[in-house]
Structure 1
Amino acid sequence: MPVYCITGANRGLGLEFVQQLAQSPDNTIIATTRSLSSDLGGLQAVVSPSTRVLQCDTGSVPSIHSFVKSVAQALGGDTKIDFVLNVAGVNPTPSQSSLNLGPDDLQAQIAVNVIGPAKVVELLLDAGLLSQDVRVLNMSSSLGSMERTAQAKPHQCAGYSISKAALNMLTVHQSEDLRHRLPGAVVISMDPGWVRTRMGGEAAMLEPSQSIGGMLRVLHRLSSKDAGSFYDHSGEKVPW
């Protein structure tokens, strides 16, 4: 029975991951939310009996430490996590450009979008909770692609774009560093596409079900040669 750990699972892409994975009774799901006092109605409506909803504010390292302890208690025994999906992300200031970046806003995006995924993997590894062949998906964006951003006019979401480019570099480092500890591990970045969520907006081209279905197909066929790669939801490589 594969074990999935999904951050940011109470809405948007994270919620759709839970919904699709919960359809199989073989899947054990650890679904995280920044606060257990948040509106979890949507999440509770789709969870399976083998889903555990845990608190994890990925913008807070102490919260991630507490989360990892909760995971160890929830799994118990020798059960390991097979898939880590770092989905939680923020884009609070999409109108900011490189000429009016708010330092606090950028730091908040770096905390959630970069440091969070780094610490989730690090602390789960140190706690002995990752399987030998773990697959790590860091949710990126085409806005994190330097080549695509350079071609796009006008440029958009400067702070978010910068944080996702940093996340892509984290993926490259994690893919090598994690394999020194877990030789079968594979870490990738993924661009979900422009998806119709609260962050993506109603004008987006893709339904969440399309994006997540595609990403799961890519995730489940990953091999060692894919380590450190950047894919979109259809399995096409995205330029750095």
Structure 2
Amino acid sequence: MPVYCVTGTNRGIGLEIVRQLSQSSDNTIIATTRSLSSDLTDLKAVASSSTHILECDTGDVASIRSFVKEAAQTLGGDKKIDFLLNSAGVNLASWQSSLTLGPDELHTQISINVIGPAKMVELLLDAGLLSRDVRILNMTSGLGSMQSSLGIKPRKCAGYSISKAGLNMLTVHQSEDLKQHLPGAVVICMDPGWVKTRMGGEGAVLEPHESVGGILRVLHALKPEDTGSFYLYNGEKCPW
């Protein structure tokens, strides 16, 4: 039975990932949410009997540490995480440009979008909870592509773009650094496309089920030589 760990599952893409994974009773799912006191009605509605909902604020390193301890207790024995999907993320103050960046908003986005996935991998590794051939997916954005961003007009989401470009570079480093600990590990970043979620906002073109269906197909087909790659949800390679 494969073990999946998915962050940011109370809504949007994370919620849809849990919904699709829950369709197989063979899957053990650890679904995290920033706070257990949040409205988890939708998450509980799609969760399977083998889904464990745990609290983890990915913008708070202390919360990640607490989550890792609870995840170890939840899995017990020799079970390890086979698939880690870092899907939690925020897009704040999308109207800010590089000339009007708010330090507080930028710091929050970097904390959640970059430091969160970094510490999640680090602390799960330290706890011995990642399988030898773990597949790690960092959910990024096309706005994190420097090449693609050159052509975006009107300009938008400067802070979010900067944080996602940082996540892309984190992915490259993780893909190499993990090799000395877990030789079979594969780490990629994934652009889910412009999805009809609260974060996606007006103009989004993809239904969540379409995006996530593609994401999971790519994830399950990954080979060792794919590590360090930047994919679109449909399997196409994205430009850095």
When the two structures are superposed, what TM-score results if normalisation uses the length of structure 1?
A: 0.99
The 3-state SS of whatever aligns with 1:151 is coil
Which residue does 1:101 correspond to in 2?
101
Counting only pairs closer than 5 Å after superposition, residues 57-206 of structure 1 correspond to structure 2 as 57-206=57-206
Superposed CA offset, 1:70-93 (max 9, x none): 000000000000000000000121
**How far does residue 155 in structure 1 lie from its aligned partner after superposition?**
2.1
Using the aligned pairs only, state the percent identity.
72
**How far does residue 152 in structure 1 lie from its aligned partner after superposition?**
1.6
Change in Cα spacing, 1:42 to 1:83, as seen in structure 2 (3 Å) is same
Which residue does 1:237 correspond to in 2?
237
Return 5+ residue gaps in structure 2 as ranges.
none
**How far does residue 229 in structure 1 lie from its aligned partner after superposition?**
0.2
When the two structures are superposed, what TM-score results if normalisation uses the length of structure 2?
A: 0.99
Which residue does 1:219 correspond to in 2?
219
Return 5+ residue gaps in structure 1 as ranges.
none
The 3-state SS of whatever aligns with 2:114 is helix
Whole-Å separation in 2 of the counterparts to 1:93 and 1:112: 15
RMSD, aligned α-carbons: 0.5
**How far does residue 202 in structure 1 lie from its aligned partner after superposition?**
4.2
The 3-state SS of whatever aligns with 1:111 is helix
Whole-Å separation in 2 of the counterparts to 1:2 and 1:202: 36
Superposed CA offset, 1:100-126 (max 9, x none): 100011000000000000000000000
> Number of residue pairs matched?
240
Whole-Å separation in 2 of the counterparts to 1:154 and 1:95: 10
**More deviation, 136-145/201-210:** 201-210
**How far does residue 203 in structure 1 lie from its aligned partner after superposition?**
2.3
Whole-Å separation in 1 of the counterparts to 2:180 and 2:239: 26
